[in-house]
Structures are given as structure tokens and as C-alpha cells.
Amino acid sequence: MTEKILKAMTPKRKNALNGKSPVMTYLVVLAAYAVLELCIKTGIMSSHLQGLLVPMVYYAIVAVGLNICVGILGELSLGHAGFMCIGAFGSAVFSLLTDGVLPDGLRFLLAFLIGVALATLFGFLIGIPVLRLNGDYLAIVTLAFGEIIKNLLNALYLGIDENGLHASLSNQMALGLSPDGKMLINGAMGVSGTPHDANFTISMVVLLIALFLAQNLVHSKHGRAIMAIRDNRIAAESIGINIVRYKMQAFTISAAIAGAAGVLFSHNISTLQASSQYFGYNVSIMILVYVVLGGIGNLRGSVIAASILYLLPELLRGLNKYRMLIYSIVLIAVMIFNWAPAAITWRENLAAKFRAGRNGRKENA
Amino acid sequence: MALLEVNNLCISFGGLRAVDDFHLTIEKGQLYGLIGPNGAGKTTVFNLLTGVYAPNEGRIILDGQDITGHKTIEINQDGIARTFQNIRLFSQMPVIDNVKAALENQYSYSLFDSLTHLGKYRRVEKEITERSMDLLKVFDLDRFAETLASNLPYGQQRKLEIARAMATNPKLLLLDEPAAGMNPNETAELMKTIELIRDKFGITILLIEHDMKLVSGICERLTVLNFGRVLCEGPTKEVLSNPEVIKAYLGDE
């Protein structure tokens, strides 16, 4: 029965990318949510593990965002940690300013929208020069912009008092804050005291929204134009597709989703710092690893890969020095499983057998 | 009045005059052939007509409108569509999406509708799908609608490229070596397809081709290009028996 309903709900044409149906993706996410929530409620899950859930989800979100850029638009970006950083700082500052003024729910909603809006704006502005480039050059420039954002925020001092906002790039003293002024961004010390508004449920909702938007995009006029540019720029131009416009759209949406992940980041951590550990290029590359191993253009894969690959090194902490060794072996294994021709054939055979078995059972029944 | 009128078209790359004093007049509904030995500048003419290169000199007039110097995207909206010598499909997209992508400028809904599938999305997508399927049926490609374009057999890929160009509703269709790499059966089928679309859509076609069977079979008039200059032009039979043309292709005795 459920199968029938699902069939009716699923569009006839499956996802152009790897034949994944969108509805299935939502179900996978919801199922994961139900199981994990159950583990929390029954107390099976350790508090250490519980603390990893929100980061796991926001990395999954940023992986979905990056996949729009890498998989749908076909351009390599190494600056997505930068967009995350903007979303994180923008929303954190807003939350600090309005803490105690606005009710909690409304404050977080507005902070979320502001974080996303800022990331969108920066995605658009950075997109203007960056999208004139292709391939490696685009990757290098996005990497540079990501680093610039991080380093600027790392050096930024921002405070507020009765005279308004004060900003400086040198030190706290230069702000000239009055004694009852409030520090918002304290240079490399970052933003502290952001309300702890993000939780696992909210993060999962944001993930579902990100997936909803991304999957809808793939099955739309705009998505087709973007993928046409990816597949063949010259042909896309010849049928009247406006290359610049669609590239900008894809890149900006991608940055906006990364910004949403950043909002969750800053509202889940007590002290937000623009350090390399959180927003450096190595983080951008880590996100790219999630996207590549999950399958370029495969949105569901990004979520699964991000979840597993984020949790794995954390869960292996007990193994100490063998941790990264095992992590790399898993990376290689996943890569082989996903991309090696022999592995693909093996998987297809297995799926065919499984399907045959299921049909056989149906006939018997 | 002629549908396409090209006068005194010139382009140089460095010291090389790739196309020199090129002229061409195509009447509405004609099937016109552009032939010439390798390196004569045929594809360069196509690239000039479609705005890939801007000409150094000369005028291109389509249906009474001067389109000289227009960019590729504008040229498509002006009413010229083309196919490529080396097939350029959207290879990782299904066949039907290749055609749908080409309907880009004829149907519109907002980015918000795209992201949420609300608003005009459902209604317009339905129209787009119907238009695309109709077009695929004309080319007998409807049974491949969900196949990835890269998985199509070669001959079908050529056809899909033509279908995609036709989806943009052109007045003039440019085919760059449509029969290249085809076996005789595929070529025969292609000839039928070209005549079919000419008759069904009342479209004007300019094609570059080396396959003389195809050229003499369907083209009404020819222009022969040699070393970037027009060698001769006229009705197909006359041109093909012109000693100058034979000399250009086969050399002196």
C-alpha cells in the first residue's frame, strides 16, 4: 500500500542525476531524524554524540549548497566556508543586538533570515568577478575570497553604544566605546554570548528546506538552463540561454544555503571565532570531499556522505593516533565503492538481484 | 524579399583572411548548401552568422533586420538556430530536457516558482513538456525521451541536435555537416528528416556538407567556398558540373 502511495507521489520522471527520486530523499532524512530523536529520548545516545548532531546537520546543509555549485552548475568552489562564515557572523551579531529585546523564536527567525540574506548578498557580489572565470581559475579565486572573508572578520572589532555602531580593524581600544557599550565582534576572540538557539530539530528542518529548494531547482526551467551551461556552454549560448544570469543564480543560491548552515553554526557554539579551524580553506575542501564522495550532483549522497564522514573521525577519537589513518582508508573505500567501474557493476547486479527477489516474492504472495 | 542577405562579409585572424567578400542570398523556404574543400572557411561563415565572431566588414540582414554584430544569444532570438560539426548536446541530461532547455525563452516563470514549484510552475511545465514531446515525436525520438543524451546512438544524437535547434522556433536553421560520421542508411534517414522539417515547419535551411549524395539530393542552390572566397553559386546541378568547382575539389589534371 505504502509503495502504491509513494509511486503516486513520486513524479514519473526521476531525478535526472543518478535516478534518485526527490521524495525518497526527504524520507531518508525524516527516518534518520526519527531514529536519532528516539535515541536521544530513550537516553541511548551519549551527550558527546548528541553534541555532534547539529554540526553534522549543518555540514550536510553546506554540502547540499556546495553541490548546487559543483554538481548542478559544474564549477568548483573552494570558498564555501567563507559564505558559512558570513552567515554565522551576521546572524550572531543580530542575535546579540536583539537578545532580550525580541522573543526567542522571532529573534532566531530574523537572525536566520539576516544570515542568509548577507550570505546571498556576498555570493552575488563575489559571483560578479568570479563567474567570469572557469575551472581551476574559478576555484582559486573562490578560495582567495573565502580566506579574505575569514581574515577580515578575524581582524574586525565591532561594538555598539548609545552613539551607534563602532568598527575598527586595529584593536578594541580604537573603537572608543563608552563604558556601558557592548562588544559585538572582538577581533580574533570573535563573538561570544550568542544565544543557543539552534537545536537538532531546527537544523533538520533547515536541511529539509535546503533539500527541497535544491531538488526543486534541478527539476525546473532555471535548473535545466544551469545544467545546460554545465554540459555545454557553447550549445547553451546557441539556444539563447543567458550564461551569466544563470551562473549567478546558481552560485548565489549555493552561497545562501551555505549561509544558512553558518547561522546554525553560530547559534550552536558559545564562542564564534573566524579561525582556520572553522572557516579556513581546509574546511571548504572538507565540504568538497563530502560532495565528491556523496556523488557530484547527487543531493541525497551529499547528505549521507557529510553525516558519515563528519561523525566518523569524531567517533574514532578513542583510537587516538589511528584515527586519521582509518578515516583516510574509509575515504578511499567510499571512493572505490562509488566510482570504480567494477564496483558500479557489482552494485547494479546486487540491485537487480534484490529487485528480482522482491518481484518473485510478490508473485508467490 | 530574401530571408537572409549577406554582403561583403570579411574576417581576418591576424594576417589570414579567413573569409573575404562573402555574399549569400537565401530565399524563404529554400534548402541551401554551402560547400567547399576543407579549410575553405565554411564553419567560419557559420560562426559569423551566429555571432560567435564579429565580422570586420560586411552586413548580415535577416528578414529585413540588420543583425550584424549581434551576440550569439541575440542571434538566436533574431531567428537563427544552428547545430555543430562536432555534436554538442547536453550530454548528462535526458533527451527531453535537451529540448526543454531550448524552450527557455518562450516560456517563463520566476526563480521563486522554480525553487518552490508553486505559482506558474505546474501549468507552464506541463506546456513545456507537451511542446517537447510533440517535437520529439516529429523526429521519432519520443521513445528515447528519458534516455541520457550521451547514451543515444550517433545518428539519433544528430537528430536530437536538430530537434533542439528547432525548439527555439528559428526562421533559419544552420546545419554544420549534419551527415558527418553517418553510414549510408543514417544519411538517407537524415535527408528525409531535413526535408520533413523544411516542409512541416516551413523553415529555411542552410547546410554545410561534404556528402555529395546528400547535397545533390536535397539542396536547391549551392554556394561554393574556396580559400575564403565565393568560387561560384547557382542551382545545385549547374554548380556541381562547373569545371572550376571540380578543379577546387580534385585539383588540376
Q: List, in order of start, the domains of chain B with CATH numbers.
A: 1-79+170-253 (3.40.50.300), 89-169 (no CATH)
pLDDT at position A285 over 50? yes
Compute the distance between CA of residue B142 and CA of residue B147 in angstroms, rounded to an integer: 10
Choose the weakest-confidence range: A157-161, A200-204, B93-97: A157-161
- What residues 140-199 of chain A have any CB closer than 8 A to a CB of chain B? none
Cβ contacts of B33 within 8 Å, gap of 6 or more: B206, B207, B208, B209, B215, B219, B221, B222, B223, B236
Compare all CA atoms of chain A with the CA of B118 and give the residue at the minimum distance: A216
Nearest to B117 among A16, A216, A232 (CB): A216
Nearest to A238 among B50, B94, B113 (CB): B50
pLDDT at position B180 over 70? yes
pLDDT at residue number A318 = 78
pLDDT at residue number A118 = 97
A258 touches chain B (CB under 8 A): no
pLDDT-derived band at A361 (thresholds 50, 70, 90) equals: low
Backbone phi, psi, residue A198, to 5°: -80, 135
Choose the weakest-confidence range: A149-153, A204-208, A310-314, B7-11: A310-314
> For residue A159, how many C-alpha atoms fall within 13 Å in the half-sphere facing its CB?
21
Q: Which residues of B touch A225 (CB under 8 A)?
A: 101, 104
Compare all CA atoms of chain B with the CA of A243 and give the residue at the minimum distance: B73
Nearest to A217 among B92, B93, B115 (CB): B115
pLDDT at residue number A255 = 97
Q: Which of B227, B228, B237 is nearest to B23 (CA)?
A: B228
A13 touches chain B (CB under 8 A): yes
B187 touches chain A (CB under 8 A): no
Beta pairing class for A191-192 and B16-26: unpaired
pLDDT-derived band at A5 (thresholds 50, 70, 90) equals: very low
Q: How does pLDDT run across B80-104, given as a tens digit for each residue?
A: 999 999 999 999 999 999 999 999 8
Q: Which residues of B touch A236 (CB under 8 A)?
A: 90, 101
Q: How does pLDDT run across B50-84, given as a tens digit for each residue?
A: 999 999 999 999 999 999 999 999 999 999 999 99
Q: Is the pTM of this model over 0.90?
A: no
Nearest to B72 among A225, A228, A238 (CB): A238
Compare all CA atoms of chain A with the CA of B90 and give the residue at the minimum distance: A231
Q: How far is B85 from chain A (nearest CA, A)?
A: 12
B164 touches chain A (CB under 8 A): yes
A164 pairs with which residues across the strands? A161
| Interface mutation vs chain A, best among B114, B116, B175, most A CBs within 10 Å | B114
The arithmetic mean of pLDDT across residues A282-306, rounded, is 91
Does A222 contact B165 at a Cβ distance shorter than 8 Å?
A: no
Reduce the DSSP state of residue B237 to 3 states and report it.
helix
Nearest to B73 among A221, A232, A240 (CB): A240
Q: Residues A188, A190, A191, CA angle at the centre, nearest 5°?
A: 170
pLDDT at residue number A17 = 45
The arithmetic mean of pLDDT across residues A284-309, rounded, is 91
pLDDT at position B135 over 50? yes
pLDDT-derived band at A8 (thresholds 50, 70, 90) equals: very low
Helix or strand (DSSP H, E) at A246: helix A243-266
pLDDT at residue number A365 = 52
Residue reference for cell 568552489: A77
| A321 or B253, greater pLDDT | A321
pLDDT at position A167 over 50? yes
| A6 or B182, greater pLDDT | B182
The arithmetic mean of pLDDT across residues A131-151, rounded, is 91
Q: How far is A181 from chain B (nearest CA, A)?
A: 41
pLDDT at residue number A344 = 84
Backbone phi, psi, residue B234, to 5°: 155, -170
Does A220 contact B114 at a Cβ distance shorter than 8 Å?
A: yes
Does B101 contact A224 at a Cβ distance shorter than 8 Å?
A: yes
- What residues 73-92 of chain B have any CB closer than 8 A to a CB of chain A? 73, 76-77, 81-82, 84, 88-92
Q: What is the mean pLDDT of chain B?
A: 91
pLDDT at residue number B253 = 59
Does B90 contact A241 at a Cβ distance shorter than 8 Å?
A: no
Does B101 contact A239 at a Cβ distance shorter than 8 Å?
A: yes
Radius of gyration over every alpha carbon of chain B, rounded to an integer in angstroms: 19
pLDDT at position A13 over 70? no
The arithmetic mean of pLDDT across residues A348-360, rounded, is 80
Does A238 contact B167 at a Cβ distance shorter than 8 Å?
A: no
Nearest to B76 among A228, A240, A297 (CB): A240
Cβ contacts of A154 within 8 Å, gap of 6 or more: A187, A188, A273, A274, A275
pLDDT at residue number A2 = 39
Choose the weakest-confidence range: A51-55, A277-281, A333-337, B87-91: A333-337
Cβ contacts of A82 within 8 Å, gap of 6 or more: A122, A142, A145, A146, A147, A148, A149, A150, A279, A284
A34 touches chain B (CB under 8 A): no
Q: Which of A119, A132, A27, A23 is nearest to A66 (CA)?
A: A119
The arithmetic mean of pLDDT across residues A76-89, rounded, is 95
Reduce the DSSP state of residue A81 to 3 states and report it.
helix
Compare all CA atoms of chain A with the CA of B97 and give the residue at the minimum distance: A224
Does A225 contact B104 at a Cβ distance shorter than 8 Å?
A: yes
pLDDT at residue number A1 = 39
Q: How does pLDDT run across B187-236, given as a tens digit for each residue?
A: 998 999 998 888 888 899 999 998 888 999 999 999 999 988 999 999 99
pLDDT-derived band at A226 (thresholds 50, 70, 90) equals: very high
Per-residue b or e along B38-70, where b marks 16 or more CB atoms closer than 10 Å to that residue's CB = eebbbbbbbbbbbbbbebeebebbbbeeebbeb
pLDDT at position B137 over 70? yes
pLDDT at residue number A204 = 96
Q: Which residues of A touch B97 (CB under 8 A)?
A: 16, 224, 227
